[in-house]
């Protein structure tokens, strides 16, 4: 058996059990082998065959499932620091977008970048996430808005999985913005849908996303993209109710979307629709913070309807240039009122669900041995501090 070992002397936050529990096991042992978790439990109850494996003692450190960043735009060209200055001078995100800045300015920089450039500039970003114990990351297209660049972004995302010990899940986000000089319907018919077909044909797409917002696409336009995704047997997810209530969340639920993301302006009936569809709520506090948003996502309604809540960085050059999933956890608690247990479940178990993954996100036998070992005593410490990274060791697919 490849890489068989027994990790000992740990407090294990298994993230098993109900939504608000850590599933804590004190003085735990974890047997790993062939990239999987073989056994987890109190050392006192460890079976003899696992006790015979090589021991890796951890003197009381905390172990969690490795973190999962389920919503990023880390493949992109250029930066938007000037836009940051403009917003501080009083311009709104929408003003800048309507004036041709925002997403469109990153599109120009991304179209000018070669595939090697896109890979090279994304590597430090993915290394930052790996350095915080991330073992799975979702990466979107959406800064090309032409066929070749949308495919190049997804090729770069796939290349990152070859360049680092990390799982990359790709998302086609051709319906991110309308290129200058074109109307939305023409763009969807002549560029977005052909690009989705081509990307799918090249095996580059794991899911399909869209930006349902006044400055982007209407629910009806998103539905045309989702119909094509359904025809290609691809799951969908949606940037919804970020800046207003257009009905994106309800549309996502209608298509049994993996997730509805942002959702600051979603309401009680949206939460009920998500619950009925098994759609995960992906909250993105980095964008809320960067855009000085004041509308809170409906956390109590999500809790009431048992909608799984995930947190992610939304790492993008405009609305959330944030390179820390631990900071997103702290913001989820401080800005959105999540408990530290909800925050840790949001970047492990529920983040896996937001990507349609059932083989990771908890510490249970049979799951991937994607683990993060931390120099802390209690799991709440992971959300409590910000600007400090207590990671001791990341274990990716059982490789110690």
Binding site for Fe ion (CB under 5 A): 314
- Retrieve residue 53's tokens: 């494996």
What is the distance between the alpha carbons of residues 88 and 79, in angstroms, rounded to a whole number?
16
110 sits near ligand DI6 (criterion: CB under 6 A): no
Pick from 61, 45, 68: which is nearest to 13 by CA? 61
Look up residue 263 and give its two tokens: 């959702």
3-class secondary-structure state, position 100: coil
Tell me how many residues contact ligand DI6 (CB under 6 A).
12
Name which of residues 206 to 265 contact ligand DI6 (CB under 6 A): 211, 239, 242
Is 106 one of the binding residues for ligand DI6 (CB under 6 A)?
Answer: yes
Binding status of residue 50 toward ligand DI6 by CB under 6 A? no
Give yes or no for residue 152 binding ligand DI6 (CB under 6 A).
no
Cβ distance to ligand DI6 smaller for residue 11 or 319: 319
Q: Can you tell me which of 41, 101, 318, 323 binds ligand DI6, judged by CB under 6 A?
A: 318
Nearest distance from C-beta of residue 211 to ligand DI6, angstroms:
4
Encoded tokens for 284 = 């993105």
Comparing CB distances to ligand DI6, the nearer of 102 and 297 is 102
Site string for ligand DI6, 166-195 (x = CB under 6 A): ----------x-------------------
- Verify binding: residue 8, ligand DI6, rule CB under 6 A: no
Q: Which does 106 bind (CB under 5 to 8 A by kind): ligand DI6, Fe ion, none?
A: ligand DI6
The count of C-alpha atoms lying within 13 angstroms of the C-alpha of 101, restricted to the half-sphere facing its C-beta, is 19
CA distances from 265 to 97, 243, 255, 326, 369 (A): 20, 7, 19, 24, 37
Pairing label, strands 371-374, 391-395: antiparallel
Round to the nearest angstrom and report the end-to-end CA distance of the chain: 14
What is the smallest separation between the CB atom of 107 and ligand DI6, expressed in angstroms?
9
Q: Which is nearer to Fe ion, 64 or 106 (CB)?
A: 106
Distance CA(73)–CA(129), nearest Å, equals: 13
What residues line the site for ligand DI6 (CB under 6 A)?
102-103, 106, 176, 211, 239, 242, 287, 316-319
């Amino acid at each position: 058996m490849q890489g068989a070992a027994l990790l000992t002397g740990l407090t294990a936050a298994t993230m098993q059990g109900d939504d608000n529990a850590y599933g804590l096991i004190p003085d735990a042992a974890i047997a790993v082998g062939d990239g999987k978790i073989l056994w987890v439990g109190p050392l006192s109850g460890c079976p003899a065959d696992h006790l015979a494996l090589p021991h890796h003692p951890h003197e009381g450190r905390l172990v969690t499932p490795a973190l999962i960043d389920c919503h990023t735009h880390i493949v992109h060209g250029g930066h938007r620091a000037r836009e940051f200055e403009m917003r501080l001078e009083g311009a709104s995100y929408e003003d800048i977008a309507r004036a041709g800045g925002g997403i469109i300015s990153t599109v120009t920089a991304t179209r000018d970048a070669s595939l090697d450039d896109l890979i090279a500039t994304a590597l430090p970003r993915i290394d930052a996430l790996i350095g915080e114990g991330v073992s799975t990351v979702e990466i979107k297209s959406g800064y090309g808005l032409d066929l070749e660049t949308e495919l190049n972004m997804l090729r770069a995302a796939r290349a990152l999985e070859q360049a680092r010990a990390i799982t990359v899940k790709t998302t086609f986000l051709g319906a991110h913005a309308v290129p200058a000089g074109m109307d939305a319907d023409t763009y969807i018919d002549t560029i977005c849908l052909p690009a989705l077909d081509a990307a799918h044909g090249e095996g580059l797409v794991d899911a399909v996303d869209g930006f349902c917002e006044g400055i982007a696409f209407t629910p009806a336009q998103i539905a045309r993209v989702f119909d094509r995704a359904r025809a290609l047997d691809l799951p969908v997810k949606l940037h919804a109710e970020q800046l207003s209530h257009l009905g994106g969340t309800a549309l996502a639920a209608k298509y049994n979307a993996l997730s509805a993301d942002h959702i600051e302006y979603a309401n009680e009936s949206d939460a009920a629709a998500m619950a009925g569809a098994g759609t995960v709520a992906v909250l993105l506090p980095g964008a809320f913070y960067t855009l000085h948003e004041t509308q809170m996502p409906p956390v109590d309604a999500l809790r009431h309807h048992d909608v799984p809540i995930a947190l992610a960085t939304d790492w993008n050059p405009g609305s959330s240039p944030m390179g820390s999933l631990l900071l997103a956890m702290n913001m989820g608690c401080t800005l959105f009122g999540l408990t530290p247990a909800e925050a840790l479940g949001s970047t492990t178990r529920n983040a896996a669900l937001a990507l349609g993954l059932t083989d990771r996100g908890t510490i249970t036998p049979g799951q991937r041995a994607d683990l993060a070992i931390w120099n802390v005593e209690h799991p709440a410490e992971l959300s409590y501090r910000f600007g400090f990274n207590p990671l001791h060791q990341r274990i990716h697919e059982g490789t110690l």
